[in-house]
Amino acid sequence: MTLFDLTGTHSLVTGATGALGRALAVALAEAGATVSVTTVSTDRAEEVEANSILNECWAAGGKNGQQKTLDLTDPAAVEAAVAALEKDVAPIDILVNAGHAANIKPVLASSVAEWMRELNRNATTVFVASQAVGKRMVPRGKGRIINVVSDLHDRGIPNCAIFGASQGAILGFTKSLALEWGGGDPLVEDRVTVNAIGIGFIEGVPGPQADPAVAEVLGRYLPLRRLGSPKDVQGAVVFLAAPTTNYVNAEVVLIDGAIATHA
Amino acid sequence: MGILDQFNLTGQCAIITGAGTGLGREMALSLADSGCDIVGVGRRSGPIEEVGEIIKAKGRRYLGVTGCDVTVSANVNDMVAQAAAKMGRITVLINNAGLGGSGRGKTLPELTDEDWLSGIDSNLNAAFYCTRAIVPHMLEQGGGRIISVTSGWGFRAGRNNWMYPVAKGGVIQLTKAIAMTYARDNIRASCIAPGLFPKTEDAAVLTEMGPKQVAGRIGFPREMGPLAVFLASPASDYLSGATVLMDGGAIAAGLLPAGVVPHAEG
């Protein structure tokens, strides 16, 4: 299966310690990539989780990936981590921004501080990580940035306004950044691409489906009649990461059980 | 099952219309590389036989069909029946055949019924006929994938460009209807929207056309292969009703002409 072979590449998955981040990291490793991950806190439980993810990646793929614990909204910390990973592991070929947090709350009950927190943890993290990695990718003329956004990037759900805004922010950033970095020589195939995976309601991922009553309704309402599993998103990340998909750029691949089709 | 196994199409069989040349040919070759048997449908026997020889050399089964005009439903029904009879289980349909049609650039009053129907027939009706013919077979087999090639024109419009965008927009809606109707029958439907993919890798052409594109280069037909394999395979099992653009960012960039970059002081 050479079309999607990632052997010899180095992937960095940010916000890796959720259910989705783990699935994406492992998929990249299974496709042959060396995988490094970032976690956002020094909390012991998260560190154990991160080590477990790295172990799974090591078992499946390259064995040199590392874990960095840092504040993804802190440009100096991210720059230092990216510099160290490029020096100690390998140049980063693939950046997957998988962090995903959802503040489900009425707007009238929300503060500006909560708005800033949601935008920061979902969107500022993508900006900071893309900048640190992109400034190295762009001179190399090839690379992949893959951002995970909820289908709420262009649809609405009550009590999800602030969460939805953070997803729209990521997507707007994705499209213009893709065009800023997507050019190159007419005779050279490699490109830097920036794309998104638009996820529907995935089990274990923060979002409205975390409410069991909503999940129960979705199980009947979704065209495919089931919530997605993190594993359902693995194919899309490997597809977008592959060296054969240079001409997919500024795109959102919807892995949503067809919810956007009838919504 | 590891992730790369999910892209494996061993044991599957795909009908591809317009398989002899261009994007259809490249999709057929990539599917075959991934283990898929192929039914190649096309107007001219030369290219359909030539691609068949390559596919058979890869160790796949191949059936070439050249007598089928995909704009005639009776022909399509015969083709699908023949494919099922000779190949057994058909699991993938790629509605790829399509034509620019006559009449592009004519003003609305100048357009004839024939102009209009030529564009709608070859791009939309053909996809409808093929889909209608294959769905009962797929339902019997427990599911399948229907992939249709639309275009950036399925989203945008142009002055005095009538049939092609209307037909390609129709293909996107046809895909959504398939996805909704058969979601619970394990049939997945999706669209591919290619940007500019000339059938050449001539350096002079690439150098002339590339800088006018958002991506700085044109697309190479072989780049369609991985997308077709992804959409045909279990790796995209939770994707249905959606369109995937393969255009180097062209649709996203549509707000300004290519090469125009706003500058602002920090």
Q: From the list B215, B233, B251, which residue is nearest A191 (CB)?
A: B215
CA angle B41, B16, B165 (to 5 degrees): 100
Phi-psi region of A104 (alpha: psi -120 to 50; beta: other; left: phi over 0): beta
Q: Do B227 and A234 touch (CB under 8 A)?
A: no
Q: From the list B2, B34, B183, which residue is nearest A258 (CB)?
A: B183
**What Cα–Cα distance (Å) separates residue B218 from each residue in A74, A113, A242, B154, B197?**
38, 46, 19, 19, 6
Report the interhelical angle of A125-140 vs A75-88 (nearest 10°).
40
| pLDDT (mean) for A142-166 | 95
Q: Which residues does chain B have within 8 Å of residue A258's beta carbon, measured at their own beta carbons?
A: 179-180, 183, 240-242
Token pair 């975390």: residue: A210
Compute the nearest-CA separation of B106 from chain A (Å): 32
Residue B1: pLDDT over 80? no
pLDDT score for A216: 95
Q: Which residues pair with A228 in a beta bridge?
A: A202
pLDDT score for A153: 87
**Burial label, B108 (beta-carbon count in 10 A; 0-12, 13-18, 19+):** exposed
Catalytic residues of B: 164
Compute the nearest-CA separation of A114 from chain B (Å): 29
CA angle B188, B193, B196 (to 5 degrees): 155
> What structural domains does chain A harbor?
2-261 (3.40.50.720)
**What Cα–Cα distance (Å) separates residue B132 from each residue in B28, B73, B85?**
22, 9, 17
Higher pLDDT, residue B137 or B262: B137
> What structural domains does chain B harbor?
3-246 (3.40.50.720)
pLDDT score for A50: 87
Is residue B54 a contact partner of residue B25, using CB atoms and an 8 Å limit? no
Residue B254: pLDDT over 60? yes
Pairing between strand A10-14 and A94-97? parallel
Residue A73 amino acid letter: T
Is residue A218 a contact partner of residue A200, using CB atoms and an 8 Å limit? no
Q: Do A260 and B241 touch (CB under 8 A)?
A: yes
Residue A212: pLDDT over 60? yes
Q: How many CA atoms lie within 13 A of B228 on its CB side?
A: 32
Report the interhelical angle of A19-30 vs A44-60 (nearest 10°).
20
Q: Do A224 and B184 touch (CB under 8 A)?
A: yes
Q: B33 at the A interface (CB within 8 A)?
A: yes
pLDDT score for A46: 84
pTM beyond 0.90: yes
Q: Look up residue A82 and give its two tokens.
A: 């990216």
Q: Do A60 and B2 touch (CB under 8 A)?
A: yes
Residue B266: pLDDT over 70? no
* Nearest partner of A204 among A179, A229, A237, A180, judged by Cα: A229
Residue A113 amino acid letter: A
**Residue pLDDT, tens place only, B41-87:** 999 999 999 999 999 999 999 999 998 999 999 999 999 999 999 99
Compute the nearest-CA separation of A43 from chain B (Å): 30
> Which phi and psi angles does A93 have, rounded to 5°?
-95, -30
Q: Do A183 and B215 touch (CB under 8 A)?
A: yes
C-alpha A190/C-alpha A183 separation (Å) is 10
Q: Which residues pair with A69 in a beta bridge?
A: A39
Which of A92-101, A251-260, B180-189, B193-202 is the least confident region?
B193-202
Q: Look up residue B162 and give its two tokens.
A: 């009538």
**Residue pLDDT, tens place only, A94-136:** 999 998 889 999 999 999 999 999 999 999 999 999 999 999 9
Output the average pLDDT for chain B.
Answer: 95
pLDDT score for A1: 52
> Which phi and psi angles does B263 have, rounded to 5°?
-115, 140
| pLDDT (mean) for A9-38 | 94
pLDDT score for A253: 98
**Residue pLDDT, tens place only, B100-125:** 778 888 999 999 999 999 999 999 99
Token pair 């050479």: residue: A2
Residue B254 amino acid letter: G
Is the reported ipTM for this assembly greater than 0.90? yes
> Which phi and psi angles does B64 have, rounded to 5°?
-95, 135
